[in-house]
Amino acid sequence: QVQVIQSGADVKKPGASVRVSCKVSGHTLTELSMHWVRQAPGKGLEWMGGFDPEEGEAIYAQNFQGRVTMVVDTSTDTAYMELTSLRSEDTAIYYCATDSVEVPATMFYWGQGTLVTVSS
């Protein structure tokens, strides 16, 4: 069974950057794509992007192009998402989720979420 454990909550000032990590166990990130989804308070789910191990690169949603970087360390099966130039609207719970080998682009296994608060 795949388990995904995320890093803890973080508080950042406007303009700063945040990095969230996700450690996978029970499978390897050499085969699974890691997606990142965020949810602002009281709002819906928003896909930010995902790292495709076959392509060896990330694909980002247009809304985050230029501000987000997603990487994977396959030696530790840990994925990282960095979001820069933070503003108050980036206050949200950030989730990572993996797909399955058979069904890509589908979020089977979710992390517990990481609350990122952007406040001066």
Partner 1 sequence: QSALTQPASVSGSPGQSITISCTATSSDVDDYTYFSWYQQHPGKTPKLLIYNVNDRPSGVSSRFSASKSGDTASLTISGLQAEDEADYYCSSYTRTSTVVFGGGTKLTVL
Greatest extent of the chain over all pairs of C-alpha atoms, in Å: 44
State which residue, 16 or 105, has the beta carbon closest to partner 1.
105
The strand ranges marked E within the chain are 3-6, 10-12, 18-25, 34-39, 46-52, 57-60, 68-73, 78-83, 92-98, 109-110, 114-118
Q: Give me the least distance between CB of 90 and partner 1, in Å please.
A: 18
32 binds partner 1 (CB under 8 A): no
Helix (H, G, I), strand (E, B) or coil at 98: strand
115 binds partner 1 (CB under 8 A): no
State which residue, 54 or 75, has the beta carbon closest to partner 1.
54
Tokens 């979420």 correspond to 113
Instruction: Give the total of residues touching partner 1 (CB under 8 A).
Output: 23
Which parts of this chain interact with partner 1 (CB under 8 A)?
A: 35, 37, 44-47, 49-50, 59, 61-62, 95, 97, 103-108, 110-113
